[in-house]
Amino acid sequence: MKIEKNKSLKKLNTFGIEASAGTFAEIFSVEDFQDLLREEAFSGMKKRILGGGSNILLTGDRDGIVIKNSIPGIAVTGETASAVVVRAGAGMIWHDLVMWCVERNYAGLENLALIPGLVGAAPVQNIGAYGAEVKDTFEGLEALLIATGEKVRFSKPDCAFGYRDSVFKHKLKGQCLITSVSFRLVKLSPGVTYRYKTEYGNVQAALEAMKVSELSLRAVSDAICQIRRTKLPDPAVLGNAGSFFKNPSIPAKEYQLLAKQYPAIPHFPQADGTVKVPAGWLIESCGWKGKREGAVGCHKDQALVLVNYGGAQGSDILAFAAAIQKSVKDRFGIDLSPEVNLF
Ligand code: FAD
Ligand code: NAP
């Protein structure tokens, strides 16, 4: 375990916001965390868990203790002729896990290539992209209760996964340190059928442009990486935390009324009868795309991504986000909820 005082978090959040942690601990094992809980000096302190910092918004210096999860490890923990269970330490880089599986022909995570962050945060918001979500392959996770250090196992129903959502954002918010996550994947081999998800957005077009004649996990993940590299701002160059808001799902009746007024509105009917409307389209329609106020802006190609041009504070980003929410509400009557976690 590594402990530091007054640690700058600027390089540890992809928004690149300057804020400090009164106490900062990097843990490399379950035992590290349990040792930390036994330290009297830390007993009354608020404990916040940090992964790769790619889905947080810092709104000031943090007293208490920020715990960076660096628990490593990856292993196959179960195997049949056609399936495999892979368990990864919460501190592993998510994209490294995806590529580890792709290289071994374990199918199921390939559409989630190049999502920033660490494995431990993936179930927190049930990360998703290009028609796949963590919940599709999730087998279970292990966590420690932050209050006591007690080990707890979570099954899929325990996690209450929803669209970019889980129990860890609600009832158990701030109460668990996820230490490992397991995935049940398809073991590709001759005779095993697998349905690749390529119908989403421009994945098919990217595969065609790459002249892929036979689908493979590598081809699909390469296509997705290529789309992401061209469409999304690189946080190393321009501070951002990906989509700032979730895509809202509205009642079908509400959608029908909106569609009369805005026939071009993109829409995706959901299994629960609601209709998903891309937040990016709503924001762009209100004129925000490419707009900049001081150090904060709405990205020029991705209206859903707010960016820090340098020197922005969390409060600047929150004020900009609130103005966007107001104009979307005024024009379309739709409430946008932030996807990013206030830290
Ligand atoms: P952090 O930002 O460090 O933490 C996020 C939240 O999880 C915090 O509340 C934190 O306390 C909690 N947390 C972190 N680790 C643990 C743990 N071990 N135990 C308990 N709680 C924990 N997301 C998508 O879903 N799909 C995308 O396609 C996508 N694309 C993105 C593209 C870009 C350019 C960026 C910057 C972000 C994108 N994101 C996307 C958002 C982000 O990458 C994911 O939400 C990711 O899972 C966050 O991981 P992290 O390790 O950085 O978490
Ligand atoms: P896109 O392909 O331009 O599509 C715009 C929006 O329409 C997306 O938000 C997506 O919703 C929805 N959509 C498109 N095709 C769909 C389909 N066939 N079925 C259902 N919904 C569909 O989106 P993008 O901005 O370039 O992002 C591509 C993917 O990466 C998306 O899945 C997106 O969620 C993900 N991504 C997420 C983040 C993040 O921080 N959370 C950042 C960048 C990209 P969904 O978002 O629900 O898929």
pLDDT tens figures, 42-65 = 988 999 999 999 999 999 999 999
Distance CA 215, CA 196 (A): 8
Q: Among the bound ligands, name the one nearest to the CA of residue 163.
A: 2
| Residue 191 pLDDT > 90 | no
User: In whole numbers, what is the pLDDT of the chain averaged over residues?
Assistant: 96
Is this model's pTM higher than 0.75 or not? Answer: yes
| Residue 190 pLDDT > 90 | no
pLDDT of residue 197: 96
Phi-psi region of 330 (alpha: psi -120 to 50; beta: other; left: phi over 0): alpha
Q: Which pLDDT band holds residue 201 (cuts at 50, 70, 90)?
A: confident
Report H helices in the chain.
Answer: 30-38, 94-103, 156-159, 203-209, 217-231, 252-261, 279-285, 314-332
pLDDT tens-digit series, residues 122-132: 999 999 999 99
- Nearest to 58, CA basis, from 15, 92, 1: 15
Taking the centre of ligand 2 as the mean of its atom positions, its distance from the CA of residue 25, in whole angstroms, is: 35
Tell me which residues are annotated as active site: 164, 243, 339
Taking the centre of ligand 1 as the mean of its atom positions, its distance from the CA of residue 341, in whole angstroms, is: 9
Taking the centre of ligand 1 as the mean of its atom positions, its distance from the CA of residue 65, in whole angstroms, is: 19
- Atom 44 in ligand 1: residue holding the nearest Cα: 55
Q: What are phi and psi of 155, to 5 degrees?
A: -90, 180
- Tell me whether residue 150 is exposed, middle or buried, using C-beta atoms within 10 angstroms of its C-beta: 0 to 12, 13 to 18, 19 or more: exposed
Which atom of ligand 1 is the closest one to the Cα of 56? 2
12 lines ligand 1 (CB under 6 A): no
Pairing of strands 296-298, 292-293: antiparallel
pLDDT tens-digit series, residues 220-244: 999 999 999 998 999 999 999 999 9
Q: Which residues contact 147 (CB under 8 A, 6 or more apart)?
A: 175
pLDDT tens-digit series, residues 293-326: 999 999 999 999 999 999 999 999 999 999 999 9
Taking the centre of ligand 1 as the mean of its atom positions, its distance from the CA of residue 328, in whole angstroms, is: 25
pLDDT tens-digit series, residues 146-184: 999 999 999 999 999 999 999 999 999 999 999 999 999
Instruction: Return the percentage of the chain with pLDDT > 90, whole number.
Output: 97
67 lines ligand 1 (CB under 6 A): no
Distance CA 337, CA 162 (A): 14
Average pLDDT score over residue span 110-114: 98
13 lines ligand 2 (CB under 6 A): no
| Half-sphere CA count of 218, side-chain side, radius 13 A | 6
Structure tokens at 107: 């199918």
Which atom of ligand 2 is the closest one to the Cα of 304? 25
Which atom of ligand 2 is the closest one to the Cα of 232? 43
Q: Which residues contact 45 (CB under 8 A, 6 or more apart)?
A: 23, 63, 64, 65
Distance CA 70, CA 82 (A): 31
Q: Which of 57, 71, 115, 299 to mutate to test the pocket of ligand 1 (most atoms within 8 A of CB)?
A: 115
130 lines ligand 2 (CB under 6 A): yes
